[in-house]
Structure 1
Amino acid sequence: MRLFIILFGSLLFSYGQEKVLFFQTDWGNELSWDAFCERAKTSGYDGVELWLPAASDKQEALKDALKKHGLLLNLLHGTNKGLPFKESLEQYKSVLETLMLWKPVLINSQTGSDFFTMEENRAFIDAANTISAKHNIPVYHETHRGRFSYNLPDTNKYLNLIPDLKLTLDISHWMVVHESLLQGKDKLLGEVIKKSNHIHARIGYAEGPQVNDPRAPEWTNALERHLGIWEQVIRKGWKENNGVVTVTTEFGPADYMPTLPYTRVPVTDQWQANVFMMESLKERLKLNK
């Protein structure tokens, strides 16, 4: 099994027992990097997951904040669907090479397009696999609406075609795509779980990719369904990755978060929803807090 050792600044994190590394999303964040990282650390997170800021001064501020608060880093990447295929592919490869220089724990990729052919989408996956192997940093392809992995049966076709395809499982997208909690689809889900190496933890339902408040009793069935699928991924990952699995809590801000009409005030607190996701998984898995 692969020994999961992360070198971050002067800190060496080595885990030989079952553990989940939790990452907080910066989606919708309006705080400074220092304040955001401080809040993530004090909330119990091991790291943060984000799109790399373009400005050099913001990049330096991010580096300083990560080091100051002892946080790990996941980076986000994606295919530019607004460009023609060949141009988009070259941009994808170029940016991915740049992201590798940051030595993140992993790169989460929103890959390809539901309007690209299977061959075109495969070109992005193959490029990511090649660059990942070159730098020894994993690239996981997120199950996501609008991408090659926008639904369960088509994702299984890619898994059959590309044996080394590695996924980030964001099952919330498929709940709304398939207008169900995917009851009775455990055989297809089983193949996805085998190839899932990272989790985006958000609760979806038949009418949307994000419930208004995961703590509300009306969402108990949806919460339990997601937790059950995630638990399978995590327990599988513990066996394969020296007892360490990564999870990003990813409830989003307005308007992904439902809002009140006219005022656009979010109906619940995004940060609290994400911390609830982390605590729910810890309770489910009986992890030490």
Structure 2
Amino acid sequence: MQIDFFCPRWGSELLSWETFCQKVKQEGYDGIEYAIANNVTEKELDNIWNIVEQNNLKIIAQFFESGDAEFSKHFDLYGTWFEKISNYPCVKIDSQTGRDFYSFEQNGSLINEAFRFTKKTGILVAHETHRNKCLFAAHVSKEYLEKTPELKITLDASHWVCVAESFLEDQTKAMQLAIERTDHIHARVGYPEGPQIPDPRIPEWQHAVDAHLAWWDKVVMRKKEANEKLTITAEFGPYPYMVHLPDNNMPISNQWEVNAYMMKFLKNRYC
């Protein structure tokens, strides 16, 4: 079984792409996950892809700009984004699909748009379990997964933990179904009052880390049994996901170091 580990561009936007990719490679990642804005030009994407490939890194592209409340505009934007990146060799797409207040049918039409993209390009789209999007909570996602057997997800359980204000002890069926459909993991650790613990390296947060590890372990076990590839992005984020100290505006921990730690910890655990 092959597991590839990805570094988020999120939080390192001030670094040039050359510096960022060199740093990613030196840290031991296999690739990068890049949230591609709707207004990025083809010329910019060509340049980014060239730099990433020159550093022998892979790319997971992320759709994230889904803020338009009017469904028709949202749908058109989603299709336009897929068309823009259809010629770029992504490992897969992480999609923050739909909105939490759209109907099941509306969000379903967006998911079908992603299926059409996959059929056309062969690139899998994993729909992220993200607050504010269609898969914002475990109990809601369960219906999508039950009614759409081919649906694959990016499991970011930190969002579900935050939404449910629990470690989902009473939603085991929903979580088991999610584990069975996971193709990509966002390895961030949440807790009942927030989507990101301050630092996974310190003992006081070990209970939250252990809860997420129990889910990730099951995903890895399933993938190993099926001899399928898995991708993992260590995705602890910058401010406001990472809280800053009062008055001095300094982050309470170093985002790069936390993600590098999580990547290496999981690589040692699973590889």
TM range (shorter): over 0.9
Q: How far apart, in 1, do the equivalents of 2:107 and 2:49 lie?
A: 33
Residue 211 (structure 1) aligns with: 197
Aligned residue identity for 1:269:
N
Q: How far apart, in 2, do the equivalents of 1:159 and 1:270 lie?
A: 32
Q: 2:263 aligns with which of 244, 266, 278?
A: 278
Q: How far apart, in 1, do the equivalents of 2:259 and 2:127 lie?
A: 21
Checking the alignment, whether the CA contact within 8 Å between 2:42 and 2:84 is kept in structure 1 is no
Secondary structure of the residue aligned to 1:108 is strand
Residue 104 (structure 1) aligns with: 90
Secondary structure of the residue aligned to 1:75 is strand
Residue 4 (structure 2) aligns with: 21
Matches within 5 A, 1:1-289: 18-29=1-12, 30-52=14-36, 54-56=40-42, 58-78=44-64, 80-240=66-226, 242-285=227-270, 287=271
CA shift, 1:56, in A, is 4.9
What is the total number of aligned residue pairs between the two structures? 268
For residues 16-36 of structure 1, what are the alpha-carbon distances to aligned partners after superposition, in whole Å with 9 as ceiling and x for unaligned?
xx2210000010211100110
Aligned residue identity for 1:123:
S
Aligned residue identity for 2:150:
D
CA shift, 1:277, in A, is 1.1
Secondary structure of the residue aligned to 2:134 is coil
For residues 231-258 of structure 1, what are the alpha-carbon distances to aligned partners after superposition, in whole Å with 9 as ceiling and x for unaligned?
1112212333x44210011010112111
For residues 47-66 of structure 1, what are the alpha-carbon distances to aligned partners after superposition, in whole Å with 9 as ceiling and x for unaligned?
00012361455434312321
Q: How far apart, in 2, do the equivalents of 1:70 and 1:123 lie?
A: 36
Q: How far apart, in 1, do the equivalents of 2:225 and 2:83 lie?
A: 30
Checking the alignment, whether the CA contact within 8 Å between 1:227 and 1:284 is kept in structure 2 is no
Checking the alignment, whether the CA contact within 8 Å between 2:66 and 2:96 is kept in structure 1 is no
For residues 205-249 of structure 1, what are the alpha-carbon distances to aligned partners after superposition, in whole Å with 9 as ceiling and x for unaligned?
011000111101101111111111111112212333x44210011
Secondary structure of the residue aligned to 1:145 is coil
* TM value normalised by structure 1: 0.89
For residues 171-209 of structure 1, what are the alpha-carbon distances to aligned partners after superposition, in whole Å with 9 as ceiling and x for unaligned?
000111111112243222111111111000001001100
Checking the alignment, whether the CA contact within 8 Å between 2:36 and 2:64 is kept in structure 1 is no
Q: How far apart, in 1, do the equivalents of 2:32 and 2:41 lie?
A: 18
Unaligned 5+ runs, structure 2: none
Checking the alignment, whether the CA contact within 8 Å between 1:238 and 1:245 is kept in structure 2 is no
For residues 96-126 of structure 1, what are the alpha-carbon distances to aligned partners after superposition, in whole Å with 9 as ceiling and x for unaligned?
1222211200000000101111111111001
Q: How far apart, in 2, do the equivalents of 1:198 and 1:128 lie?
A: 16
Aligned residue identity for 1:127:
E
Q: How far apart, in 2, do the equivalents of 1:168 and 1:111 lie?
A: 11
Secondary structure of the residue aligned to 1:246 is strand
Checking the alignment, whether the CA contact within 8 Å between 2:138 and 2:171 is kept in structure 1 is no
Deviates more, 1:27-36 or 1:72-81: 72-81
Unaligned 5+ runs, structure 1: 1-17
Deviates more, 1:217-226 or 1:59-68: 59-68
* Moved segments of 4+, more than 6 Å: none
Secondary structure of the residue aligned to 2:222 is helix
CA shift, 1:83, in A, is 4.3
